[in-house]
Amino acid sequence: MAVEVVMPKLGMAMKEGSVSLWHKKEGDPVTKGEIIANIGSEKIETDLEAPADGVLLKIAVPEGEGVPPGTVIGYIGQPGEQVGGVAAGAAEGPTADGSPSGGAVPDAAPAGGTVSSEAPAHGRDIKISPVARKMAEAAGLDIAKLTGTGPQGRITKEDVEHAIANPPSAPAAPASAEEAAASSDGASAAPSAATAVPSGFTEHTEQIPVTGIRKVIAARMHDSLQQSAQLTLTLRADVTDLLALQRQMSETAQRQHEVKLTVTDFISRAVVLSLKRHKQMNSAYIDDRIHVFDHVHLGIAVALDKGLVVPVIRHADRYSVLDLSRQIKALAQQARNGQLGSDALQGSTFTITNLGAYGIDYFTPILNTPEAGILGVGSVAEMPVYKGDSLQRRSLLPLSLTFDHRVLDGAPAAEFLRAVKDALEDPYRLVL
């Protein structure tokens, strides 16, 4: 009996998920535990493993189509096995490119008439798979001008790929002044593939639909820049003593508490203490009001293969450096395993993002709105620094603070950033 492949529930609040990518085609052999697809929701994207050995008999949900958790998105079984009483090769429903798998089930005709053999005037009535439609829109193709090779003339992903790889020649000049005027005032049709793909590109350009977590990130980052007045301040903190303290404590913490202390743990503690002293930075701009928080819910950005998430340490002001370290590592691991619920990704009052591991110095982090601030951490660099009259080798840490100028001005933001610097340069304050 065929085994159902279902859309998993990625968090308690998940209402819809989609297949970002099928790694297998219908008829391909699969092994239990093998990754067969990438599954994404608005918050998380993860791999989907095959629940059984066999072949992928049928793909019931194409790439990019949203369905509720628990929906059957495919079937795995033995070659020729029936799915729901129908042979796999003739089963109803769309394949990975959105066309009927067996070609025997025609698309439903529009209300009030039959399907015309000619392309309809409106794009929404054209028979085209969801993935093919998204690819055509991204490439600027007029789908009314595409020729479908799927059943009943349906436009498939392969048809769009062919159109992108073989753009039509540029249209001839208008035959009259009236036509030229119509063209110049925007009366012409949608841009063709020739205008969408830069001239000189003869090889096929991959088109990647923006779905799942990538789509959410794109929307949030754009909205953040559109809906706030962002300014970034930078400085360096001398963390020479902090690194020495971290090395001293690391072995003891590992042995007695099974916690590996990192510089990020100390930075988090310094930020929390500074936010308690400079509460205007621990705020949010919501509905023309500045909400100043007594608690600190600290967001820590975590980079994933498919994007970025910001799990939240609630009431971080109640934690010691050791406790913060445990929380940071636990949440980061859950994020990488796709185990975070939506509640763990909401409600932060301030965020830290660290690109030091990539050798980055200063950068401009984008606010995690409606928060008023986000701290970017760069890579520690060894530099010569004068201490009095002597030149010493010191470890300097780049810090980049982006803040919402609607909430506070440059001076109080600079005071907060200076407070973080002072705390890092007097590291024993962070453990007492």
Q: Is 405 in the active site?
A: yes
| C-alpha–C-alpha distance, residues 246 and 102, integer Å | 63
Q: Is the peptide bond before 151 cis (omega within 30 degrees of 0)?
A: no
Write the Ramachandran bin of 317: left for phi over 0, alpha for psi from -120 to 50, otherwise beta: alpha
Q: Is 409 in the active site?
A: yes
| C-alpha–C-alpha distance, residues 217 and 38, integer Å | 17
The CA-atom distances, in angstroms, between 210 and each of 20, 21, 218 are 9, 11, 9
Residues facing residue 303 across a β-bridge: 308
DSSP state of 11: S
| C-alpha–C-alpha distance, residues 324 and 326, integer Å | 5
**DSSP reduced 3-state for 56:** strand
| C-alpha–C-alpha distance, residues 92 and 99, integer Å | 10
Give the up-direction half-sphere exposure of residue 102: CA atoms within 13 A in the CB hemisphere: 16
| C-alpha–C-alpha distance, residues 91 and 93, integer Å | 7
DSSP 277-330: H-GGGSEEEETTEEEE-SS--EEE-EEETTEEE--EETTGGG--HHHHHHHHHH
Pairing of strands 54-59, 72-77: antiparallel
The CA-atom distances, in angstroms, between 46 and each of 17, 19, 145, 212 are 11, 10, 36, 10
Token pair listed for 111: 């209300």
| C-alpha–C-alpha distance, residues 280 and 412, integer Å | 8
Annotated active-site residue in 222, 223, 405, 426: 405
Annotated active-site residue in 28, 223, 343, 409: 409
Cβ(370)–Cβ(333) below 8 Å: no
Place of tokens 């000189």: 200
Pairing of strands 17-22, 66-67: antiparallel
Cβ(40)–Cβ(17) below 8 Å: yes
Catalytic positions:
405, 409
